[in-house]
Amino acid sequence: MRTRKQELRQVGALPLLVHPNGGVEVFLVTARGSGRWIIPKGNPIPGLAPHEAAAQEALEEAGLIGVVEPHCIGTFEFNRRRRGRSTACLVDVYPFTVKLQLRKWAEAGQRSVLRCNVETALSLVGSSSLAFLIEQYLSPPMQSGRLGPSDQPSLASLHAD
C-alpha cells in the first residue's frame, strides 16, 4: 500500500549583492536540522504578501535588509524528513537585493551565513533544483535588467548594528 507524501508550500529569498562592476555574490544560510546550505526560506506569514514573507525570512535567518522583488522567479523542491515522515516542500523564490547585513539578528546563533560568488553557491546548495533555479536566474548574469543601478547596495554600508 502506497502512502501519499505530504506537501508543504514555503517562500524563500534569493539574497544577491550586486557590485558596481557587475559582479554578483549570493548569501546562503545553513538549514537548522541538516546543516545543508540553502537560501533563507520559511512558511508564509499571515498578513504578508509572499515576497514580503520571503524578505522577513532573510532578515530572521541571515540578518539581511534589502529590496525584495514581488515576482516569483521559480520554485524549487526538497524533501524534509521529520518524525519519520517525508514531506515534499515546494519553495517559491523571490529575488532580494541586499542593502546591508545586521551584526545581530534573530537566528544568528542557530545558523551559519556565507557570502560567496555564484559558482561557489551553485556547488554548495543542498538542492539540485535550487542550484538550477539560481543558475537560470543569473545566466546570463543580470543582462535582463532585473537589478538596476539604483538597486545596487553601497559596499561601505553593508554592515549595520
Query: Does 151 map to a domain?
Result: no
The mean pLDDT of 62-79, rounded to a whole number, is 95
Query: Does 126 map to a domain?
Result: yes
Query: Does 146 map to a domain?
Result: no
For residue 156, pLDDT over 70 is answered with no
Query: Does 49 map to a domain?
Result: yes
Residue 152 is placed in which grid cell? 545596487
Query: Does 18 map to a domain?
Result: yes
Query: Does 160 map to a domain?
Result: no
Query: Does 1 map to a domain?
Result: no
Instruction: Tally the residues of the chain.
Output: 161
For residue 153, pLDDT over 70 is answered with no
Domain extent, residue 95, equals: 6-141
- pTM, two decimals, is 0.83
8 CB-near residues (< 8 Å, 6+ apart): 43, 80, 87, 88, 89, 90
Q: How many domains does the chain contain in total?
A: 1
Query: Does 155 map to a domain?
Result: no
| pLDDT at res. 38 | 96
CATH number at residue 100: 3.90.79.10
For residue 123, pLDDT over 90 is answered with yes
Distance from C-alpha of 55 to C-alpha of 13, rounded to nearest angstrom: 6
| pLDDT at res. 116 | 97
143 secondary structure, DSSP code: T
